[in-house]
Amino acid sequence: MDLYSYTDYRRYLKDYFTSQKEAVLHFSFRFFARIAGFSSPGFLKMVMEGQRNLSLSSINKVTKGLKLSQKESAYFEALVLFNQAETRKDKDLYFERLASLKPHVKFHGLEKDQYEYFTQKHYVILREMVALPDFKEDTVWIAQKLKMPIKPKEVDYSLALLLRLGLLKRDEKGKLVQAEATLSTPPEVDSMEVASFHRAMLDEAKESMWDVPAAWRHFSSLTIPIPKNSIREIKSRIENFREEIMSLINQGSTDYFEVYQMNIQLFPVTRTKEFK
């Protein structure tokens, strides 16, 4: 089990206990409580079920029972504090700590390019930006039109990476165009990187509420009670809706306007034209 792939410590503990019970016949909550130093054999079960939280002292006991290394213990502590944080400020603080404690995997060649693509939001946007009718292969122009701070030399590097990955290609006239290539997510791109990407896009959404006119964006929400047995169906319908949107775009006009990000919110992430 890779601790660093988890963003929920209770889920990690559940998976750990399941795997240990399968591997060790005598493993139990009572056994773990004894080696970790807990007086109550049922305490950790209540933690895993969300009925109790871990204190700093109990975190140390858990890491002892899990036989984590010093670095893993630091990550586990940050993970607990992140999950139990009550304010957005604390959440952000511990999320950044988690990101800093996560080991950096060393990649080479194409594998490194794939990892970068899936963990940096501007690559995804830049690939789609190439399809815009007014697109110019000018790094200064591109840097100005992307709605995020990026330098022309970074744009140049990014275009080269997209070409290496086969996500962009040059047509018979040497013009940059999208290729029909697809990439599978490398196993090292786990929930931490995915969470970072979505957090970054949510930040973009917040900015768009103020600097993009209402006619060119869409924000809506529902606050409703949902039965537990309906959650899977709702998620399935959201996925179906996403596929419908993709089909609509793929079968429609290629006279693209801007590159948009849709998370139920819809907002542009490029600005090649003036919004009026």
What digits encode the pLDDT tens for the residues 23-56? Answer: 888 899 999 999 999 998 889 899 999 999 999 9
Residue 176 and residue 142 in contact, taking contact as beta carbons nearer than 8 Å = no
The confidence score (pLDDT) of residue 162 equals: 92
- Closest alpha carbon to 208 in 245, 128, 262: 262
32 and 44 in contact (C-beta within 8 Å)?
yes
- Mean pLDDT of all residues in 2-22: 90
Dihedrals φ, ψ of 266, to 5°?
-130, 120
Q: State which of 154, 178, 202 marks the end of a domain.
A: 178
Answer with the residue of higher pLDDT: 93 or 264.
93
At 158, which amino acid appears? Answer: S
Domain ranges, residue 208: 191-268
User: Is residue 208 in a domain?
Assistant: yes
pLDDT at position 185 over 60: no
Domain assignment present for 183: no
User: pLDDT tens across 155-169, in order?
Assistant: 999 999 999 888 899
CB-CB neighbours of 73 under 10 Å: 18
Are 89 and 27 within one domain?
A: yes
Confidence band for 181, pLDDT divided at 50, 70 and 90: low
Backbone angles phi, psi at 253, to 5 degrees: -70, 150
Task: For residue range 186-232, list pLDDT tens digits in order.
Answer: 544 455 666 667 777 777 778 888 888 888 888 877 767 778 788 88
Structure tokens belonging to residue 30: 């009572």
The tally of domains found in the chain comes to 3
In a domain, 18, yes or no: yes
Which SS3 state, helix, strand or coil, does residue 61 take? helix
* Residue, of 147 and 156, whose pLDDT is higher: 156
Q: Is the Cβ–Cβ distance between 160 and 148 less than 8 Å?
A: no
Last residue of a domain, one of 101, 124, 150: 101
Q: How large is the greatest C-alpha to C-alpha distance in the chain, in angstroms?
A: 74
Residue 185 gets the label, from left (phi > 0), alpha (psi -120 to 50) or beta, of beta
CA distance 84 to 9: 10
Tokens of 276: 């009026």
Q: Are residues 51 and 116 in the same domain?
A: no
At 183 the pLDDT is 57
Residue 275 lies in a domain: no
